[in-house]
Structure 1
């Protein structure tokens, strides 16, 4: 799908919701992570993340932007994603809460490369006991600088009554041709966070200030065969 066609589809979806759209909730947060086991490039990085999510009568949106600061070189990185889930069906008394279409835009840059990838897919929000949400999405990736491929994504959040939250995602991507005769390796990125609401003990409104750890297991990172990242990060997160 070309960028023009992609934008036309997304625009049509947004236009179709404008008459009856109503925001039900929203959340904006800032995070700071620090880790020293990154693969490909500087192993020691700090990551600043801005996230925003919102729920509407027609579905939901999600956007985040990462600024990756390298501590041993100047090749700092920017990466982000923005997308929406547009509900097609909302069954009742079912193990499926929602069935939706989910267009998404990935963008990024560093000192050497800049890219814009456009994804189109479908997904479901499953009624998993104890989960705030548990989404499964399948995408067709329209890559900017590389050949297209496929992606399967799971995302989840499990809040607990004692102020602990466990959330994360799993991205599984198929192989693709990087160049004639050069094929990337398929791989997956499992990233999860375990956080505790410390703000509740500091006079801060509950659900606002969290500390914890993020763990990343990224097999064949960026499609590079044999490069597996195992990376623990310290985390602090503030919800506005």
Structure 2
């Protein structure tokens, strides 16, 4: 419960930082497309168009990260039972990290570690589809280690408090909001710029290793989950005549085993294991 209160506190502090001058910020609008997405309890391969907005900023005591994905499936993941139109989803992630070195005015650098922090935030989603119609709500909180690399490399151990209140389109039944067992996640995020010859590149992404969250709302045991999303981006700003790091294009790959805690060896079937290549473009402002 103490960690849960930390999540609330970190969110409040992050919101309050808007009243302070930001030291830096980066906003971007992105688009990505892939044809090999997977959805639990659906054995079809799904194509998706995804539009996102991302905000990253830093201020006197820490940093903020906000990403909102808007996902549009093809008819293989239908919006309603019997429909030829695809499902629609919004997924929002917010993280706020307090840098303890900045808070206490001390240098905590040791070896490859630049500093230590405390992170908190939330995940929120809503999806309209023929089956599950997810309404996920999740709070997160825990310690973060920040490594001394070009760009950034952060590793966090977070406690998760997750709930959902799905609606089954096939049986037309609603499930009251169900709270899963609190469970840990190892979260790694990175953004490493580098060059190959004269090519300005960056290796970016995240890796999530999530423990089982106990039984789901239907009494079925959940599985531990692995979600790795990595992208190689090329800064094409010079080609289109805009300032550095404004326009990026690249390739992305997502490996997601036991998606949302659904066991790929159980009733969720092959849809619980996604291996998805994508193309991606971003405009930063």
TM superposition score normalised by structure 1? 0.90
CA distance in 2, matches of 1:190, 1:133: 17
| 1:207 shift after superposition | 0.9
Structure 2 stretches lacking a partner, 5+ long: 80-86, 102-106, 165-178, 265-271
One of 189, 199, 207 as aligned partner of 2:237: 199
| 1:8 shift after superposition | 5.0
User: What are the residue-to-residue correspondences of 1:88-237 with 2, within 5 Å?
Assistant: 88-89=100-101, 90-92=107-109, 94-111=111-128, 112-128=133-149, 131-145=150-164, 146-147=179-180, 148-161=182-195, 162-177=199-214, 178-179=216-217, 181-226=219-264, 227-237=272-282
CA distance in 1, matches of 2:284, 2:220: 44
CA distance in 2, matches of 1:216, 1:82: 20
Partner of 2:168: none
The alpha-carbon distance between structure 1 residues 237 and 180, as it changes in their structure 2 partners (threshold 3 A), is closer
| 1:12 shift after superposition | 6.0
CA distance in 2, matches of 1:154, 1:45: 25
Cα RMSD (Å): 2.5
Tell me whether 141-150 or 9-18 shows the greater mean CA deviation: 9-18
Aligned residues: 237
| 1:10 shift after superposition | 3.1
Higher relative contact order (CA 8 A, sep 6+): 2
The alpha-carbon distance between structure 1 residues 8 and 93, as it changes in their structure 2 partners (threshold 3 A), is closer
Please give the secondary structure, in 1, of the residue aligned with 2:136.
strand
TM superposition score normalised by structure 2? 0.76
CA deviations on 1:24-70 (whole Å, 9 max, x unpaired) are 11000011001011111571100001000001110100000000011
Tell me whether 185-194 or 158-167 shows the greater mean CA deviation: 158-167
CA distance in 1, matches of 2:74, 2:56: 30
Please give the secondary structure, in 1, of the residue aligned with 2:36.
coil
CA deviations on 1:113-150 (whole Å, 9 max, x unpaired) are 3122101111010114xx31110000110112341211
Partner of 1:9: 9
Structure 1 stretches lacking a partner, 5+ long: none
* The structure with more radius of gyration: 2
The alpha-carbon distance between structure 1 residues 232 and 180, as it changes in their structure 2 partners (threshold 3 A), is closer
CA distance in 1, matches of 2:7, 2:50: 30
C-alpha contact 1:6 1:118 (8 A) present in aligned 2? no
